[in-house]
Amino acid sequence: RQAERQAELEREREELRRRREAEQAEARERRMREALEAEEQDRREQDDDPANGRAAGASAAEIQNRWGVLIKNRVEQNWVRPQGQRPNLDLETVVNLSLEPGGAVIPGSVRVVESSGRAAYDQSVVAAIYRASPLPVPEGDEFELIRDLQISFRP
């Protein structure tokens, strides 16, 4: 009987631990989304500001570039480069990825388009993209311009 009670207490502790971890993850995600929304609001204000020399209607290339940089920065924050390899600035991995509205990377969509020639390096880029998901993305029509994206990564 005491063993049953002990097992029940362990299950309750585990459930509490899982809930606490889920709440912490939700709080982190909420803070990240708020920061991204603030960045997007700042960007909108800058785009609409005649003093910065940009027109309010950004071109498709400008939108892709702007969001590509934000996405690349997020991925690089989650990128764990392979250890034991000498730095080689000539390395470059080009990947193609597909996104869902909201920024989630579609499972299985990340493909190496141009390999660096080092499988571990290429795989570290792919893993970082999935780890960084959800990625920062615009809403509405702008999202359609970056739904499928190609990005290059260098050390």
Domain positions in the chain are 1-56, 58-155
Q: Label residue 29 by pLDDT band (50, 70, 90).
A: confident
- Of the candidate ranges 23-27, 85-89, 106-110, 124-128, the one whose mean pLDDT is the lowest: 85-89
Average pLDDT over residues 17-38: 77
Task: Pick the more confident residue, 137 or 21.
Answer: 137
Using DSSP, state whether 128 is helix, strand or coil: helix
Let me know: does 153 contact 72? Beta carbons within 8 Å.
yes
Which residues, listed in sequence order, are joined to residue 96 by a DSSP beta bridge?
111, 150
Largest CA distance in the chain: 76
| Statement: residue 88 has pLDDT above 60 | yes
The pLDDT assigned to 37 comes to: 76
How far is it, in rounded angstroms, from Cα 26 to Cα 24? 5
Task: Pick the more confident residue, 22 or 50.
Answer: 22
Overall pTM surpassing 0.95 (yes/no): no
Q: Which CATH class is domain 58-155?
A: alpha beta
The pLDDT assigned to 103 comes to: 92
Let me know: does 126 contact 110? Beta carbons within 8 Å.
yes
